[in-house]
Amino acid sequence: MAPVDRLGQQLAFLREVEKLKSVYRSTPLADGSRKENSGEHSWTLALYALVLADQAGPDVDVAKAVRMLLIHDLVEIDVGDVPLHSQNGLAHGAADIVLAEAAAAKRIFGLLPPDLAQEMLETWHEFEDAQTPTARYAKSLDRVQPPVLNMLGDGGSWLEYDVTLEQIDTRIAPKVALTLPNVWQRVRAEIAQWFSAHGRI
């Protein structure tokens, strides 16, 4: 069993992805028992992509969005999760993190046979670049689920980072409102109600 044969490479990758289950995000689970990890987060987003497919524009490839969301956070095995609201919203998307994530993508997808590695790397970059309708759909879902989960608990990462409704409108709303207007209108109304009910506006 040479370690470099095709099936060996596929299984090596599938062993590596197990590590994402130990990368924790800032959002607690609905029952508050622990923080959400990036593996189960990715699973939830794939379900969002399937269930909200009728909210996607006609140019969105939903099956590809599912594949994108399943792999979009694998780079966090090397780089960790960078919470959207951490460092007053400045850490997310910082240049050094973008570089580190690209290197991580090369290493992790590089465990796969070349054809699969290239396909996944391209899909990951398409997600990161957020220029195609499919990537924008996937990215928007990645912005919608954390607020929904925060509201199932006690406010989660909003409390931890003392987030205001204004910051949500700055950091989340613009792109999501363009890509998923109906979903965002609904979730934004729920968020405003939540902030009001919890005396935060």
Measured between alpha carbons, how far is 34 from 88 in angstroms, rounded to an integer?
23
- Cβ closer to a copy of itself: 15 or 198? 15
- Cβ count near 32 (within 10 Å): 11
Buried-state track 95-113, b at ≥16 Cβ within 10 A, e below 16: eeeeebbbebbeebbebbe
Measured between alpha carbons, how far is 194 from 4 in angstroms, rounded to an integer?
53
Q: Is 51 in the site for a copy of itself (CB under 8 A)?
A: yes
The torsion angles phi and psi of 36, rounded to 5 degrees, stand at: -70, 145
Q: Is 79 in the site for a copy of itself (CB under 8 A)?
A: no
Tell me how far, at minimum, the Cβ of 27 lies from a copy of itself, in Å. Answer: 10
Q: Please report, as residue ranges, which positions from 121 to 160 form the binding site for a copy of itself (by CB under 8 A).
A: 145, 148-149, 152
For residue 26, give the nearest of 163, 137, 132, 140 by alpha carbon.
163
Residue with token string 């990462």 = 157
- Cβ closer to a copy of itself: 8 or 83? 8
Q: Please report, as residue ranges, which positions from 4 to 33 form the binding site for a copy of itself (by CB under 8 A).
A: 6-8, 10-11, 13-15, 17-19, 21-22, 29-31, 33
Count residues binding a copy of itself (CB under 8 A).
49
- Cβ closer to a copy of itself: 19 or 175? 19
Q: Give the amino acid at 29.
A: L
**Residue ranges in contact with a copy of itself by CB under 8 A:** 1, 6-8, 10-11, 13-15, 17-19, 21-22, 29-31, 33, 36-37, 39-40, 42-44, 46-48, 50-52, 54-55, 63, 66-67, 70-71, 112, 116, 145, 148-149, 152, 182-183, 186-187, 189
